[in-house]
Amino acid sequence: MAAEKARLALTNILHSKRYLTILATAIACFLVFTWQAPLVADNVPRLDKYFKPTSISGFQRRAYKLSDERARPTCVRQRFHESRYKVLEENPRAVFIAINFYQNQEVIPTFFQEFPGIVERLGRKRVYVSIYENGSEDKSQQLLRLFDDMLTYMGVPHRVITRGRDEYSHKENGHRINVLAAIRNAAMEPLYSGEAARQVQGGMFDDVLWINDVYHCQADILEVLYQKRLQGANQACAVDWAGWGDHVIYDRWVLRTITGKVFYIWEELVRWMYPTDDDPREPDGRGPLPRLLPYDEADRRRFEAHLPIQVFSCWNGATAIDASAFLEPNNLRFRIAKADLDEGGRPKEVTEMVSECFLSSVDLWKMGKGKVALAPRASVAYNTWNYNTHRKDQLPLPSNSSDEVITNWVRDPPETVAFQDNAAWNAPERWAPWDEQ
């Protein structure tokens, strides 16, 4: 009898309007709190913890809705993509993928769109993804937590760290390269420690693939890996295009020809950026475009035909590097230049002599891994306008596939290389020994 009375009392409570009003209010407050929680700290409840999507497309739709930026590349998988990149499936290699993000809510949805296809091609059990974000005040953290959940859903081994406001970059006042080297090494830590290798098929990595915060299609990223394998290269790079409507390569600070030269003459860059009243103008109001590879005609012809060329150094938005370079006994680490260290080996007040990305190519040469290739077909960019302007993923393949192969590899680095100290692109380069730094 007592049990029956208790059941009837509970039924009356559940059907009361007051109870339903209180319950609805409590649920609404809980949802608002959990939705805002990712902006507060890492250890508070999250909405997506309780209402996760149940499909890859569900994760993608949520990411697109969460981001304020709807501009993503329209990526079409062509039939020749299937045949070209099939070798990446048929002869599988383990790939460690590393990414840094900072204030990237606009571009992260592109990664949601393209990453599943990249992983499927490479193999879910042969890929480890390591992402390190810091300093973001936009929705990057929320998006990356959702990306973390998508990788879990896909069964891809990974580590996603989001620091947000808890760890600002502090790159101002000349500390940029020191900070960038540190956060790149933070993303690489699962490779350095061996933790990542224990989670992939085969227990070891063949390639490290770095992807910058760039707009891309999966064919661009696969092309970097394809060219590294086709050329038997130690490093292969994409080509990144600038972020403000330019028709010049973006990362000119890092990129050097195999003869150690820059890709553009500095005087022509200045004239293009700051034309005089007498200079002819491009449609965007700038001066005449600087010439590409003015010192290396053979390389220019191959580049303009979208064929790979050997270079001394590159990075340029996406790069694949021998994983063995980062492991014993080589132990490559991202670092600052020797000139940015004091007599005690500590970073000076200003640490921007040379990019940490340029130094990674230098250190490859030092360990005898100097087969570095630039792959023009893999064109990426820092906004969708530039991506759509310069993308090569839809272009037909060369009629003669043998033309793609670099046959005349230069085995020794140039004696001297053009340095743009402190990223000074608008002044004469300083020529110095290639291994000075």
pLDDT at 331: 97
Q: How many CB atoms lie within 10 A of CB 416?
A: 14
Greatest CA separation for the chain: 101
- Cα 231 to the chain's mean position, in Å? 22
pLDDT above 80 for 431:
yes
pLDDT at 259: 97
> What is the C-alpha to C-alpha distance for residues 215 and 317, in angstroms, rounded to an integer?
9
* Element containing residue 265 per DSSP (H, E): none
> What is the C-alpha to C-alpha distance for residues 219 and 82, in angstroms, rounded to an integer?
10
Percent of the chain with pLDDT over 90: 70
pLDDT at 374: 98
Alpha-carbon torsion angle 99, 59, 219, 263, nearest 10: -40
Any idea which of 27-31, 226-230, 397-401 has the lowest mean pLDDT? 27-31
- Residue 210 pairs in a beta bridge with 98, 319
Across the range 32-41, mean pLDDT stands at 40
Please write the tens of the pLDDT for every residue from 308-333: 999 999 999 999 999 999 999 999 99
Decide if 380 contacts 251 (C-beta within 8 A). no
> What is the C-alpha to C-alpha distance for residues 51 and 48, in angstroms, rounded to an integer?
5
Sort strands 372-381 and 318-322 into parallel, antiparallel or unpaired.
unpaired
Query: What average pLDDT is seen over the chain?
Result: 88
In the block, residue with structure tokens 């808890």: 166
Of 309, 111, 308, the closest CA to residue 223 belongs to 308
> Is the pTM above the cut of 0.95?
no
Q: How many CB atoms lie within 10 A of CB 65?
A: 9
> What is the C-alpha to C-alpha distance for residues 97 and 187, in angstroms, rounded to an integer?
9
Q: Can you read off the two tokens belonging to residue 199?
A: 């989670």
Please write the tens of the pLDDT for every residue from 105-164: 999 999 999 999 999 999 999 999 999 999 899 999 999 999 999 999 999 999 999 998
In the block, residue with structure tokens 């006994």: 329
Angle between helices 176-193 and 356-366 (to 10 degrees): 50
Buried b (16+ CB within 10 A) or exposed e, 73-88: bebeeeeebeebbeeb
What is the 3 state secondary structure string of 35-63?
Answer: HHHHHCCCCCCCHHHHCCCCCHHHHHHHH
Decide if 99 contacts 211 (C-beta within 8 A). yes
pLDDT at 51: 72
pLDDT at 64: 94
DSSP designation for 249: B
Residue type present at position 386:
N
pLDDT at 125: 95
pLDDT above 70 for 16:
no
* 3-class DSSP state of 382: coil
CA atoms in the 13 A half-sphere facing the CB of 160: 18
Confidence label for 305 from pLDDT (cuts 50, 70 and 90): very high
With a CB cutoff of 8 Å and minimum separation 6, the contacts of 269 are: 248, 252, 290, 425, 426
Q: Can you read off the two tokens belonging to residue 183?
A: 């956060």
In the block, residue with structure tokens 């996760």: 52
Decide if 140 contacts 67 (C-beta within 8 A). no
Decide if 381 contacts 241 (C-beta within 8 A). yes
The residue count of the chain comes to 437
- Return the CATH superfamily for domain 52-433: Spore Coat Polysaccharide Biosynthesis Protein SpsA; Chain A (3.90.550.10)
Please write the tens of the pLDDT for every residue from 174-209: 678 998 999 999 999 999 999 999 999 999 999 999
